[in-house]
Structure 1
Amino acid sequence: MNQQDIISQITQQKMLPLYFNKNKEVSIEVLKALYAAGIKAVEYTNRGAEAIANFKEMRKVVNDTMPGMLLGIGTVKTTADAELFISAGADFIISPVVYPPVAKVVQDAGLLWIPGCLTPTEIFTAEMNGAKMVKIFPGSVVGPSYISAIKELFPGILFMPTGGVDTTEKSIKEWFDNGVCAVGMGSKLISKSVLENKEYDKLTKQTKEVLEILNNIK
C-alpha cells in the first residue's frame, strides 16, 4: 500500500490503537483481540528492548492470519530505529518528535511518516519535511479546541490527537467536532488491567463499542 492508501485506512477507521507490552504472547493476543473487533491499523510502540523481537513475531502473525491489517511502529526517534523497523516490515512509522533525518529515511523507503507535534512551528516543520498527517501529542495538554484554532493554518495537514482522548462518546465527538481525522487510543482503550489480566474478550468488546461511536460521527 502507498502512503495515501495507509492514510485512507486510518481515517476510515477513525482511530489508531497503540500499545506496548514486554511479553510477546500478550502483544500478539492484544493484536488478535483488536483485529477481531474490526481494527485494520495498529501502532505498536517502541518503548522497550523487547519491541523489535515482538514486532517481528507480530508481523508474522499479521502476514499469516490477518489479511488487510496494517502494522505500524511508534516512538521512533532515530534513523537507526527507523531502519530497523522498516527492515522488520513496518507499514508506517510514527515519531513523538519532528526529526527530519527520520522523515527522510522513512519517505525514501516509500512509507508514511507521522510525526508528533504540539506547536504551530513543529507542525510547519513537519509539513516542510513531507508530513501529510501529524500526531498532536500530548493531546491532553491542549484539548480539542486547539485543533480548530490552528487547523486553518495548515489546510494540507490531517490531525490525529493522542493522549487526552477518552473512550466516551462525549470525548470522541468533541475532538471530531473540532476537526481531527482520527484519534490515537492508548491506555484508555488498552488498559493496564487488560494487559495484566489478559482480558482480551473485554478488549474486543470495548473496541467494538468505540468503533460504533466513531461510525456514528458525521
Structure 2
Amino acid sequence: MTQQDILGQITQQKMLPLYFHKDTEVSINVLKALYAAGIKAVEYTNRGAEAVENFKALRKVVNESMPGMLLGIGTVKTVADAETFINAGADFIISPVVYPPVAKVVQDAGLLWIPGCLTPTEVFTAEMNGAKMVKIFPGSVVGPSYISAIKELFPGMLFMPTGGVDTTAENIKEWFSNGVVAVGMGSKLISKSVLQNKEYDKLTTQTKQVLEILNNIQ
C-alpha cells in the first residue's frame, strides 16, 4: 500500500489503537481482539526490550490470518530503531518527536512517517520534512480547542491527537468538531485491567462501541 492508502485507512477508521505489552501472547491476543472488532490499523509501541521480537511475532500473525490489517510501530526515536522495524515489516512509523533523520530513513523506504508534535513550530518542521499527518501529543495538555486554533496555519496537514482522548461520545465528538481526522487511543481503550486480566472479549466489545461512535460522526 502507498503512504496515501495507509493515511486513507487510518482516516477512514478515525482511530488508531496503540499499545505495548512485554508478553508476546498477550500482545497477539490484544491484536486479535482489536481485529475482531473491525480494526484494520494498529500502532504497537516500541516501549520495552521485548518490542522488536513481539512486533515480529505480530507481523507473522497478521500475514497469516489478518487480511487487510496494517501494523505500524510507534515510539521510534532513532534511525537505528527505524531501520530495525522497517526490516521487521512495519507498515508505517510513528515517532513521539520530529527528528528529520528518522523522517528521511522512513520515507526513503517508501513508508508513512507520523511524527509527534505539540507546537506550531514542530508541526511546521514536520511538514517541511514530508509529514502528511502529525500526532498531537500529549493531547491532554492542550485539549480539543487547540486543534482549531492552529489548524488554519497548516491547511494541508492531518491532525491526530494521542493521549487524553477518552472513549466517551462527548469527548470524541469534541475532538472531531475541532478538526481532527482521527484519534489515537491507548490506555483509555486498552486499559491495564484488560491487559492484566486478559479481558479480550471486553476489549472487542468496547472497541466496537468506540467505532460506532466514530461512524456516527459526520
With the length of structure 1 as denominator, give the TM-score of the two structures: 1.00
Match of 1:32 in 2: 32
RMSD: 0.2
Which secondary structure does the structure 2 equivalent of 1:154 belong to?
Answer: coil
Please, which runs of 5 or more residues in structure 2 have no aligned partner?
none
Separation of aligned partners in 2, 1:134 and 1:210: 22
Q: CA deviation at 1:213?
A: 0.1
Q: After the TM superposition, which parts of structure 1 deviate over 2 Å for at least 4 consecutive aligned residues?
A: none
Paired AA for residue 8 in structure 2 = S
Q: CA deviation at 1:91?
A: 0.1
> Quick check: 1:120 aligned with 2:120?
yes
Paired AA for residue 99 in structure 1 = Y
Separation of aligned partners in 1, 2:117 and 2:171: 21
Match of 2:103 in 1: 103
Match of 1:75 in 2: 75
Output one character per residue of 1:19-50: Cα deviation in whole Å (capped at 9) or x when no partner. Answer: 00000000000000000000000000000000
Paired AA for residue 119 in structure 1 = T
Which secondary structure does the structure 2 equivalent of 1:187 belong to?
Answer: coil
Separation of aligned partners in 1, 2:198 and 2:23: 11
The sequence identity of aligned pairs, in percent, is: 88
Paired AA for residue 110 in structure 2 = G
With the length of structure 2 as denominator, give the TM-score of the two structures: 1.00
Match of 1:134 in 2: 134
Which secondary structure does the structure 2 equivalent of 1:71 belong to?
Answer: strand
Which secondary structure does the structure 2 equivalent of 1:190 belong to?
Answer: coil
> Quick check: 1:14 aligned with 2:38?
no
Which secondary structure does the structure 2 equivalent of 1:22 belong to?
Answer: coil
Q: CA deviation at 1:155?
A: 0.5
Separation of aligned partners in 2, 1:161 and 1:124: 16
Which secondary structure does the structure 2 equivalent of 1:18 belong to?
Answer: strand
Separation of aligned partners in 2, 1:208 and 1:61: 21
